Chains A and B, each alone.
Chain A
Amino acid sequence: MKKRIGIIRALLYYRYGNFFINFFKYLGINYLISPETNKELIDLGVKNSSSEVCLPLKIACGHLLYLKDKVDYLFIPKIIYPYEKLYTCPKMMGLPTIAWYFCGKKKIISPTIKRNFFLPLFFLGLKFKKNPFKIISAYLKAKEKKENKKLSFDNEKLKVAILSHFYNIYNKEIEDILIGTFKKEGFSVYLKDDLDEKILRKKDGFAKNIRWAFERELYNAFKYYSDKVDGICFFFSFACGPDSLIGEMMAKEAKEKKIPFLTIIFDEHSGKEGMITRIEAFCEMIKKKKSL
């Protein structure tokens, strides 16, 4: 029987998922993706992981456990530098090792990626397919160009930028609460990942000192949006070390620039009512300020 590879719909999936899936597809490898995060997966993860880590990692553990017995291998790449010499987060790098504990070392496929995606994936491909040209062509085909949204700021009356990591925000429930509430209040919502890579990877000013890739992106997005929108909402997970540092920097600069800045911290105990209350008050505040 054909072997099947499991892909978790968590953390870096929301950045590289399509690329990996396409690579497997063009190579003709069978794969299974865990379903969109739901309450059962969250509960599964929270119950079985360390209580000290952030919720996104606990959710990732939930996805791992869900897939564990349904697939022959679990694909959890160890991405150390996504680009340049900038790190992802230590917990993301540690996830393959956490997965050993849950599923045994033999089941885990985790190519180590340091900027270069090609070689690790090429060797991975060799495990399944003999023909190297097929692997190269699958890799090239999978590398599709990301299309950027055209952003317009001129015609919108109320604008808010939501800054958060892709894995926090691209979830149906969070989208409903966070983006939904802003939209209900009449705001146009701009996200970090709507921006062009060129803007997100800028190296000038303080951004140069940030050694975490995704934090630098957040900070650059903040810089870019700060003179274009009416308010900025920073949404991050409790126990996220890098985020709490960058959040503090952004809050400080927002204060100097007099831009309304709302920080929302969530964990598995956060009620949605509390979030909605804060967002509504924030929207109201901006509207009152603008009506002056």
Chain B
Amino acid sequence: MATVYIGIDVGSISTKGVVLDDNFNVITYEYLRTKGRPIEAVLNLIKIFKERVGNNVKFGGVGTTGSGRRLAGVMIGADIVKNEIIAHAIAASHFYPNCQTVIEIGGQDSKIIILRNGIPVDFAMNTVCAAGTGSFLDHQAQRLGIPIEEFGKLALKAKTKVNIAGRCTVFAESDMIHKAQLGFPIESIIAGLCEAIVRNYLNVVAKGKDIKPLILFQGGVAANVGVREAFKKELKEEIIVPEYFLVMGAIGAAILAKEETNGRGSRFYGFGISNCEFNTKAIECNGCANRCEIIHTYRDNELIDIYGDRCGKWSGG
């Protein structure tokens, strides 16, 4: 019976999952839109893996990451719940041991991780602003009626350059509309947008960081060839988009899960949980002026987790 490792990355826009074998080869992976329903997305992933992998496997370890890592971890019985910065760094140095820079742009956040000798030595994440991340590209693609998959390719067809303000998405959008009304072709505007995103990233997130080759570009936005090209042009370096760029976080979580369990076997509840029903209930505690929001998680109407209180009144310490 083969041993498998599962990694799940619940992001703001998409939920990613991956099944690895003992040597960290990808058996199967899946990328789903979260659509604001992380529980459903996680259950769907498990269902898909159940069909693809079958029941005749042993679970060596399960890890969750991403902004929804905690909830996902509680639901499926993860061995390790790790933040996405470390997960991405682990996966990047696994596939490219000599990688020194990881550019990751996801749905709502963008980050840069600086690695030296496979060890993360510095990182930064966008702080108060999410300009230039995947959800903005998504929104623009929708506004222009172009499938997001085609969006980047259009940028490559641009013959002229258009300057788009990249600091703020609101300004970027009005700038795009304005340039369209001046008569610029749509390809040039999209190319300008890709450049603006890269400029914004380098000036805000990657400000003051030592960007050295090899440079990996991962996360959902790496699918956009327009942004890839813009990075290449701006950094004057080769940009490598790994084969599994969409699920690197999930791969990192799975690798970390193996390190965590170290052959002890997993706490994972098994593929059967895709048939369970999960509910959450949020209440505002009126015990004090802090008004904590308490989240109760139920599996088949059985309470399995309480989270969110500061004082420990609900979660018991």
Instruction: Return chain A residues, CB-CB under 8 Å to B84.
Output: 277
Give A238 to B129 CA distance when docked, in angstroms: 12
Q: How far is the CA of A39 from the CA of B286 in the complex (A)?
A: 12
Complexed CA–CA distance, A139 and B289 (Å): 35
Q: What is the 8 Å Cβ interface bit string for chain A, positions 254-284, against chain B (1 contact, 0 not)?
A: 0100001000010101100110011011101
Judging by beta carbons under 8 Å apart, are B128 and A265 in contact? yes
Question: What are 24 contact pairs spanning A and B, CB under 8 A?
Answer: A38-B290, A39-B291, A40-B291, A41-B289, A172-B310, A238-B128, A252-B208, A273-B67, A277-B83, A280-B82, A281-B85, A281-B120, A281-B123, A284-B85, A284-B120, A285-B86, A285-B119, A285-B120, A285-B121, A285-B122, A285-B123, A288-B119, A289-B119, A292-B119
Q: Identify the 4 closest CB pairs spanning chains A and B, nearest first.
A: A281-B85, A38-B289, A277-B83, A40-B289
Cβ-based interface call for A194 (8 A): no
Contact with A along B96-134 (1 / 0, CB 8 A): 000000000000000000000101111101011000000
Asked if A260 contacts B310 (CB within 8 A), the reply is no
Contacts of B122 on A, CB cut-off 8 Å? 260, 285
In whole Å, how far is A207's beta carbon from the nearest beta carbon of chain B?
Answer: 22
B208, A255: Cβ atoms under 8 Å? yes
Are B128 and A269 in touch, CB under 8 angstroms?
yes
Q: How far is the CB of A287 from chain B (nearest CB, A)?
A: 10
> How distant is A155 from chain B, measured CB to nearest CB, in Å?
26
Identify 14 new A-B residue pairs, CB closer than 8 A, beyond the known A281-B123, A284-B120. Answer: A38-B288, A38-B289, A40-B289, A41-B289, A238-B128, A251-B208, A265-B127, A267-B128, A277-B83, A277-B84, A277-B85, A282-B123, A285-B86, A285-B121
Q: Is A84 an interface residue (CB 8 A)?
A: no
CA distance A207 to B260 in the complex (A): 46
Contact A288/B120 with A269-B128, A273-B67 known, Cβ cut-off 8 Å: yes
Q: List A residues 193-211 near B (Cβ within 8 Å).
A: none
Complex CA distance for A285 and B83, rounded to whole angstroms: 12
Q: How many residues of A contact B (CB 8 A)?
A: 29
- In the complex, what distance in Å separates the CA atom of A41 from the CA atom of B290? 10
Contacts of A176 in B (CB 8 A): 310
A-facing mask of B53-87, CB < 8 A → 1, else 0?
A: 00000000000000100000000000000111110
A173 at the interface (CB under 8 A from B): yes
Q: Which residues of A contact B117 (CB under 8 A)?
A: 292
Q: Which residues of B contact A285 (CB under 8 A)?
A: 86, 119-123
Determine the residue in chain B with the shortest Cβ distance to A41. B289
Question: Which residues does B use to contact A, with CB under 8 Å?
Answer: 67, 82-86, 117, 119-123, 125, 127-128, 208, 288-291, 310
The residues of A with any CB-CB pair to B shorter than 8 Å are 35, 38-41, 172-173, 176, 238, 251-252, 255, 260, 265, 267, 269-270, 273-274, 277-278, 280-282, 284-285, 288-289, 292
Chain B residues with CB under 8 Å of A284's CB are 83, 85-86, 120
Interface centre among B84, B121, B127 (most CB of A within 10 A): B127
Chain A hits for B291, CB < 8 A: 39-40
Report the minimal beta-carbon distance from B120 to chain A, rounded to whole angstroms: 5
Write out the residue numbers on chain A whose beta carbons fall within 8 Å of the beta carbon of B123: 281-282, 285
In angstroms, Cα B67 to Cα A277, docked, is 8
Chain B neighbourhood of A265, CB < 8 A: 127-128
State in angstroms the CA–CA spacing of A288 and B86 once bound together.
Answer: 10
Q: How far is the CA of A252 from the CA of B209 in the complex (A)?
A: 10
- State how many angstroms separate the Cβ of A50 from the closest Cβ of chain B: 18
Chain A residue at smallest Cβ distance from B118? A288
Q: How far is the CA of A274 from the CA of B124 in the complex (A)?
A: 12
Q: How far is the CB of A114 from chain B (nearest CB, A)?
A: 35
Residues of chain A lying within 8 A (CB to CB) of residue B290: 38-39, 173
One of B83, B208, B288 near A281 (C-beta < 8 A): B83
Look across to chain A and name the residue whose beta carbon is closest to the beta carbon of B86: A284
Please give, as numbers and ranges, the residues of chain B lying within 8 Å of A173 by CB-CB distance. 290, 310
* C-alpha spacing A251/B128, complex, angstroms: 19
